[in-house]
Structure 1
């Protein structure tokens, strides 16, 4: 049995907390929203982010994780906080961590201000701390995983032994965990597919049909690979669980918040209105800001992501987006 602290009680954080508890671990869950914490503690259900799923009564809900870190010794800390808020959590961790721990991150995105991947943010903020680092990423919507529907996910770390420790922690009879050492590729796949899902949702909202969406996703994967090459990622990673797998589920699922944002944009709603009405966070609508800066600064050819940014933040029309993509200079596929 391992002792695990989970920081973030959104849908996926709650789902994994419950999974780890049922796997026989001693799990403590902290959520920023006090009302959500109280509901989980009293009703054993996260009615806001994961309604309808009964949680184990053994799952412990805590109000102050910094104090707890000084009183208990944890084997793993699971970061389930939206990526644009991660630095604040890490700063708090640094003042409390006095022993070696394995940090597992599930947030998918790129920090806007710094254009850094989450592993780079963790490395920067936890400088001097004794920890191992890995991520958990792949096609696993909390709504299905919480119902114990068979799923597969990737545990990635530059250190294979660390990835294997994460693999053993989460693996069970309905979640199959694979390992990988291409941390950069796994991070980028998880982050960029959220942006692509918004574009896919736009096609759904406009009722453009299957052909349009298939072309969009295929060429979108090509752009993700191109961006990955700039970072030094292994191209084959983008055809695995953290790439193609995550793209399929996020760009097609009714549970996808990012696809939902795009769909609503396609139906004529404004971005600010959509985001304000949502319980969860659309990581893609934030990540595209950092991604656009990277594309411009490094002169990367990524027309889909470029046009998507213009629609979200420069008031370009959806009609112009698809016209601009379809009217570009003809070329070979590869």
Structure 2
């Protein structure tokens, strides 16, 4: 299968490496002046892995799209709309778009598949999402994990799962696109909260954070028309170890750095996702106390300990 991976950051480069490893014809496409692209183009290496020479590395977006049966996009979720405005200039009929980012558009509260759906006719250009746990640092060491591919097009997601499954990644068929996308995006917000607890030396509270965080995201998924059980699957709860505990989790590290007053310069998708989920909670009347606390700390200047205190002072209620 001819696959073009658009975006050559940490996850994009890992996807290209993985799909080449299992036998696909892969092109890795990046922006010509982006440091991560320049490094890959010149050395075929980055901080996480080494590309084999069988992967084509290019900055030619038109070539990347024309050659591909499947176009995988792995960029910052908040730039998807402007990026897809460029992509949609080319003929996408008969191609499959796979989104490998975890976020919700902050300005509109739209899921990423909804953003792409504004640019394509999904009967001609089906859209899928690839979500779930895992870090490049583990995959390149041969440590396996499980992930999910979801789409409104059953035939397409079944084909992708069959083509992409290997001994390294076991793929499951998603059955709830709303839940898969919201759950995957929301785990990054919970990851920031976990990092803040680490920064305050309240790490033992992360168990409660996991239980209550999953519950509130389940409420949101249900309100949006999805299956609340998706929050307990691989897209959300199943990704907690990689996001709430791992030393490689950008969102957890961002939260810890924030709590300590340090600066964290790498991409943490949960920052803008907290704004998007807060917006959705307000719009749909869903109680999201953890999301709201993270949002108010990051954007309203609320003190972290004050936000934590507010969570503990909430009125007594049944757990379920």
Query: What TM-score does the superposition give when structure 1 sets the normalisation length?
Result: 0.91
Measured in 2, the distance between the counterparts of 1:129 and 1:122 equals 13
2:272 aligned with 1:282: no
Report Cα offsets for 1:134-161 as digits up to 9, x if no partner: 1110011222122221111111112222
Measured in 2, the distance between the counterparts of 1:120 and 1:128 equals 11
Gaps of 5+ in 2: none
- State the shift of 1:40 in Å: 1.2
Measured in 1, the distance between the counterparts of 2:100 and 2:64 equals 21
The aligned counterpart of 1:99 is: 93
The 8 Å contact of residues 20 and 55 in structure 2, kept in 1 or not, is answered as: yes
1:200-215 → structure 2 map (5 Å cutoff): 200-210=194-204, 212-215=205-208
The aligned counterpart of 1:309 is: 295
Report Cα offsets for 1:202-253 as digits up to 9, x if no partner: 111111132x111112111111001111111112221111121112321111
Measured in 1, the distance between the counterparts of 2:34 and 2:319 equals 52
1:1-334 → structure 2 map (5 Å cutoff): 2-32=1-31, 33-47=33-47, 50=48, 53-70=49-66, 72=67, 74-127=68-121, 130-210=124-204, 212-269=205-262, 273-274=263-264, 277-278=265-266, 281-334=267-320
- State the shift of 1:84 in Å: 0.6
- State the shift of 1:128 in Å: 7.5
Measured in 2, the distance between the counterparts of 1:197 and 1:154 equals 19
Report Cα offsets for 1:148-203 as digits up to 9, x if no partner: 21111111112222111111222111111111121110001110010010001111
Gaps of 5+ in 1: none
Measured in 1, the distance between the counterparts of 2:97 and 2:260 equals 40
Give SS of 2:236's match. Answer: helix
Instruction: Mark the CA change 1:35 to 1:129 in structure 2 (over 3 Å): closer, same or farther.
Output: farther
Instruction: Mark the CA change 1:148 to 1:231 in structure 2 (over 3 Å): closer, same or farther.
Output: same
Instruction: Mark the CA change 1:298 to 1:149 in structure 2 (over 3 Å): closer, same or farther.
Output: same
Equivalent residue pairs, number: 319
Instruction: Mark the CA change 1:10 to 1:330 in structure 2 (over 3 Å): closer, same or farther.
Output: same
- State the shift of 1:65 in Å: 1.1
Tell me how large the CA RMSD over aligned residues is: 1.6
Give the stretch that moved more between structures: 186-195 or 118-127: 118-127
Give the stretch that moved more between structures: 194-203 or 159-168: 159-168
Instruction: Mark the CA change 1:98 to 1:150 in structure 2 (over 3 Å): closer, same or farther.
Output: closer
- State the shift of 1:23 in Å: 1.3
Measured in 2, the distance between the counterparts of 1:121 and 1:222 equals 26
Measured in 1, the distance between the counterparts of 2:302 and 2:122 equals 45
Instruction: Mark the CA change 1:28 to 1:264 in structure 2 (over 3 Å): closer, same or farther.
Output: same
Measured in 2, the distance between the counterparts of 1:266 and 1:34 equals 30
- State the shift of 1:112 in Å: 1.0
